Structure 1
Amino acid sequence: MIVKPSQFGVNADELSVRSLIYFIIELENLLRYIGKHLLSTGETIAVAESVTSGFLQFSFSQMKDASKFYKGGMTAYTLEEKVNLLNVNGDEALKHDCVSAGIAETMALNVARLYNSDWSIAVTGYATPTESSNGKLYSYFAITYRGEVILSEKLDLHSRTKSVNAQLYYSEFILGCFKIELDKQKEEKAS
């Protein structure tokens, strides 16, 4: 049996609006939590983005009192800028089309150094299927804490995901992972 939104008195556009509203509410809760945590610990963060093209930076700027913990970020979209600004290895960047775990980790470590931050997040990947990605959508992201990579992961999406949805999903997922890492650090300090 195929269920259509209209069978429940809701058309597809209304369903999309409702989904967006729930997404925004959950994102606001996540951002509030992260902001409060960073304020309470006095720790700072910086961000280096490629595939999310500023969504993470925007998210941190929306947090209450962001200027007290959010040092800044950059969007390094091209190979040249990743190499010049974030000291990514040029040969590795060429070999992997700037998309690998090693590149995400290097971006994260170097943006933390550039901004002198306790924490950093970096992400690189594909928001649209390309020949280089073999028609797939995925990203690599890394989170560092005080000069050490504490999380480095690959995130796969369905190849038909719209690019803006892919960017939003990557951003929300990474922020959720960051919250988990903040909680782990809090538990370690408490014990």
Structure 2
Amino acid sequence: MILKNSKIGISSEELSVRSLIFFIMELQNLFEYIGNYLLKAEETISVAESVSSGFLQFSFSQMKDASKFYKGGITAYTLDEKVNLLNVDEAEALACDCVSPNIAETMALNIAEIFKTDWSIAVTGYATPVPESRKKLYAYFAIGYKGRVILSEKLDLHSRTKQVNAQLYYTEFILGCFKLELDKHNEKRSIS
């Protein structure tokens, strides 16, 4: 549902707060499913993020018994941190402003190695339209499992999306994709 601020008298700041509250309420089912799956499977996860600036880490910390499966994460917002902490290739990062499918995949594989986890998620992209993004909003994310990337995709948003909403949308979409990957993984286990 899209609300027009001028017709109902809600400021953009209030709308952002409401978006955050709605985001958290909507994610409860995802949190429960993902947490229960990881607990039951006795598998672990770690996160490397840039554009979502901690929202993925926050999301995993909200899951019941998170300390039993969520090992941690890194928010590497700048090129230096991606290079130094996540072993992203500096020349490649400079060439693409740290935003590419390969950068997201490298971040996902390396965060799993750093934290010694079964699963990993990484995301890099733009939450505000800048010259480097040709004034567009998009992110690349990758999901890894046991040392290999099993999903790598691009997510595009409208260029007028507010920054905090872009970060929330990226987070919700990525967690939804993660749930689908868990579903696929669960089906494979059931067949075996």
Instruction: Give the TM-score of the pair, scaled to structure 2.
Output: 0.91
Counterpart-to-counterpart distance in 1, 2:149 and 2:190: 21
The Cα offsets for residues 34-59 of structure 1, whole Å up to 9 and x where unpaired, read as: 00110010000000000000000000
- Residue of structure 1 equivalent to 2:98: 98
Secondary structure at 1:74 match in 2: strand
The Cα offsets for residues 100-145 of structure 1, whole Å up to 9 and x where unpaired, read as: 0000000000000000000000000000001100000000000000
Counterpart-to-counterpart distance in 2, 1:117 and 1:71: 7
Residue ranges of structure 1 left out of the alignment (5+ in a row): none
Written as runs of structure 1 = structure 2, the 5 A alignment for 1:127-142 is 127-142=127-142
Query: In percent, how many aligned pairs have the same letter?
Result: 71
Against the structure 1 CA distance between its residues 178 and 33, is the aligned structure 2 distance closer, same or farther, given a 3 Å change threshold? same
Q: How many residue pairs were aligned?
A: 186
TM-superposed deviation, 1:26: 1.9
- Residue of structure 1 equivalent to 2:68: 68
Instruction: Write the letter of the residue equivalent to 2:64.
Output: K
TM-superposed deviation, 1:13: 3.4
Greater displacement, 61-70 / 21-30: 21-30
RMSD: 2.0
Instruction: Write the letter of the residue equivalent to 1:148.
Output: R
Secondary structure at 2:141 match in 1: strand
Secondary structure at 2:138 match in 1: strand
Counterpart-to-counterpart distance in 2, 1:130 and 1:60: 29
Match of 1:13 among 10, 15, 39: 10
Written as runs of structure 1 = structure 2, the 5 A alignment for 1:2-151 is 11=8, 13=10, 16=15, 22-151=22-151
Against the structure 1 CA distance between its residues 142 and 130, is the aligned structure 2 distance closer, same or farther, given a 3 Å change threshold? same
Counterpart-to-counterpart distance in 2, 1:6 and 1:81: 41
TM-superposed deviation, 1:12: 5.5
- Residue of structure 1 equivalent to 2:186: 186
Instruction: Write the letter of the residue equivalent to 1:166.
Output: A
Instruction: Give the TM-score of the pair, scaled to structure 1.
Output: 0.91
Residue ranges of structure 2 left out of the alignment (5+ in a row): none
TM-superposed deviation, 1:157: 0.3
Against the structure 1 CA distance between its residues 162 and 84, is the aligned structure 2 distance closer, same or farther, given a 3 Å change threshold? same
Against the structure 1 CA distance between its residues 190 and 156, is the aligned structure 2 distance closer, same or farther, given a 3 Å change threshold? same
- Residue of structure 2 equivalent to 1:156: 156
Assess if the C-alpha contact under 8 Å between 2:48 and 2:121 holds in 1: yes
